[in-house]
Amino acid sequence: MSSGHWYVAQTHPNAENTAVTHLNRQGFVTYLPRYLKRRRHARRVDTVAAPLFPRYLFVEIDTSAQRWRSIYSTVGVSQLVGSGEVPTAISEQVVASLRQREGEDGLIKLDHRPTYAVGDKVRVLDGVFYDCLGLYDGMAERDRVAILLDLLGRKVRVVVDAESVVAA
């Protein structure tokens, strides 16, 4: 069992993986929680593993035995979160609870449940019904929501990706 504590390191933009690589080379234990993120680009949708907390990762440090100040000059790391030059340790439970939510693939499982109530106004972000306003009508299936659109003078129930709608 390690006698170190967990700290939070802020990284440079999009440099989380670089920071992890360089911190591991120095002998530090790191934890970068990731999840599957849906990404849209040029009318294509794909899923990629993305950091759960962009620009942040966890580093386990034994301040009495490790030369932890080298973290400040590590490639990809901007700073350790704390007050001044003294990093602030976080509770072990934070990392433990995140690790409990990981699946076998090592990715955090997020609940993709919309926070809309039936009847809330929503706007469609993409697809055939782009920029249409409708009313939230509930979950249709996993990751898909039903909305009521006013088409040709009547309400029509349409099912779209949950990430394709936002509150209007």
Query: Where along the chain do its domains lie?
Result: 5-100, 121-167
| pLDDT computed for residue 48 by the predictor | 86
Domains 5-100 and 121-167 equal at CATH topology level? no
Task: Compute CA 14 distance to the chain's CA centroid, rounded to the nearest angstrom.
Answer: 13
164 pLDDT band, cuts 50/70/90, is confident
Q: How many whole angstroms separate alpha carbon 98 and alpha carbon 162?
A: 24
* 80 token code pair: 């350790």
Residue-wise pLDDT for 79-122, tens only, equals 999 988 789 999 999 999 999 999 999 998 876 666 788 899 99
CATH 3.30.70.940, applies to 5-100: yes
Q: What is the mean pLDDT of the chain?
A: 88
Cα separation, 14 vs 6, whole angstroms: 22
Name all contacts of 102-105 with Cβ < 8 Å and 24+ positions apart. 102/33
How would residue 125 be classed by pLDDT, with cut points 50, 70 and 90?
confident
pLDDT greater than 80 at residue 141: no
User: In whole angstroms, what is the distance from residue 137 CA to residue 135 CA?
Assistant: 6
- pLDDT above 70 covers a percentage of the chain that reads 93
Label residue 142 by pLDDT band (50, 70, 90): low
Instruction: Could you please state the CATH topology (level 3) that the domain comprising 121-167 is classified under.
Output: SH3 type barrels. (2.30.30)
Q: How many CB atoms lie within 10 A of CB 92?
A: 11
Q: Is the pTM of this model over 0.75?
A: no
Among residues 150, 157, 162, the alpha carbon closest in space to that of 126 is found at 162
